[in-house]
Structure 1
């Protein structure tokens, strides 16, 4: 009987040991099964803006001090109008401009604006919101937890098990950063459908000028507007999905010793920071190197030595000066950055959401039967964004249609 008990005990130990150890080959098989079979792709795009629109020529009237200087700055931006959540009535009811008051406004308004853009993307996508598996939210406006990501779950009817990630204070590069993350999530989780929602409200940065202001510190007041962009990203599209752009590769480059050139911080007076006037020239001087790094081993795929004019372009339009310097640095033909210029003129700089508007405009120009047809022949393209650091985000795109 003791021998029988020992045999039973030994058998159980062996069985437990074998069942708790997974062979390495099985782990590799699981890893392969987790990965998608094709690159991630943009499956749908949606945008939204608040209803309050201010012509750029009228905007200096909001900031009466230093008005001549500020009016000159606004005239240099290439912006025709901007949209804002804050109105004259809202400013009157929050005349103290306290940070707590503005953050409360953002906590309510940002999820609603993001939901509008996301609903537009989901409608275009054509599948139920419950099929979204991952949610990536990017914003430079608020600072609440739980925040916009949690609120979007209920506003959009997402599954409560959706995997959420939030990016904050990544500046104008945040849209590209969020899409880069979505690419990784989609390609490493078979069947994943990632909703990217970038929402920006400038009410936390709105302030009157003061004597200590310089041209650099006034630049944000003349550039930024409110908006939200949403993108659905997935790999291995089904028969009901229509891929727009395949996301081939992505890179991020930080230019050394440029931390002072573009800054953002949340302080007692709200979101503040500086944009150095030399930033467009700095970006133009490094843009070709960033592009070559992003293309890397893919250069052979797009024809060896790259002729930049053979690509389509979705560049974050920080300002008209930024676009002009990039055109000069890459010797781009007139009209190559028309999508960026159109968005800048019609909406201003909406920080991270802007590049999604540009991507949507690129798609619109390519599909417009009445417009220029040359763009439709360009299969390869580039998406670029710029942010604090000074950081350059680059993604190589391939038109899927």
Structure 2
């Protein structure tokens, strides 16, 4: 109630948790089960967002020259960028870049990378996708680690996608926004403000007290 969040979406259901009881504990090994879920489901969620972005763009998928895909977990080979390319039916030669473990600054990072690609490759159209499901972070409560409840109360599943390009063709494209700049910097004394650590129990993220 104090989180002020009225609705969240989650892949996890009571049935899934009943089949994987170790995910409901705080410190039981469950990474294999979590990994099996996110490797499959994260690209599927990304596909839904990407398909909408492509539809709103109104151009054929064959015009997409680059794919920048980011998700905080589910590291696998081939990566989620490969799976998304196949799910969307993008051309095999699309230039792919997969970013993992970006956390809360993922959106700014992928836009910065996409802007550089679009401005330095004539005619480039970059499909940018971020998606994640909380199956990798969901854990049971612990009386001695109440900080774990912060993420449980705030985070949910979601995805976003956009097409980024330079020098739009006014006869074919209707840009919604103009991206002037995207950058990042490390704030002084910010190390440890929030960390993420893949462990046998899943992805843990103890916040700085």
Number of residue pairs the alignment of both structures matches:
202
Task: State how far apart, in whole Å, the 2-side matches of 1:140 and 1:251 are.
Answer: 19
- The worse-fitting range, judged by mean Cα deviation, of 254-263 and 101-110 is 254-263
Greater helix share, structure number: 1
Report the equivalent of 1:87: 13
Q: Does the 8 Å CA contact 2:108/2:182 hold for their aligned counterparts? A: no
1:229 equivalent among 145, 160, 167: 160
- 1:165 positional shift: 0.7
Q: Which has the larger radius of gyration?
A: 1
Q: Does the 8 Å CA contact 2:66/2:125 hold for their aligned counterparts? A: yes
Q: Superposition pairs for residues 270-309 of structure 1, below 5 Å?
A: 270-276=202-208
In the superposition, the TM-score normalised over structure 1's length comes to: 0.49
- 1:181 positional shift: 0.4
Report the equivalent of 1:220: 151
Write out per-residue CA displacement over residues 343-363 of structure 1, whole angstroms, 9 at most, x where no aligned residue: xxxxxxxxxxxxxxxxxxxxx
Report the equivalent of 2:141: 209
Report the equivalent of 1:356: none
Please, what is the CA RMSD of the aligned residues?
1.2
Task: State how far apart, in whole Å, the 2-side matches of 1:108 and 1:249 are.
Answer: 34
Task: State how far apart, in whole Å, the 1-side matches of 2:69 and 2:206 are.
Answer: 24
**Where in structure 2 are there 5+ consecutive unaligned residues?**
24-29
Write out per-residue CA displacement over residues 130-163 of structure 1, whole angstroms, 9 at most, x where no aligned residue: 2110000110131111121001111111111111
Task: State how far apart, in whole Å, the 2-side matches of 1:273 and 1:259 are.
Answer: 13
Q: Does the 8 Å CA contact 1:138/1:166 hold for their aligned counterparts? A: yes
- 1:276 positional shift: 3.5
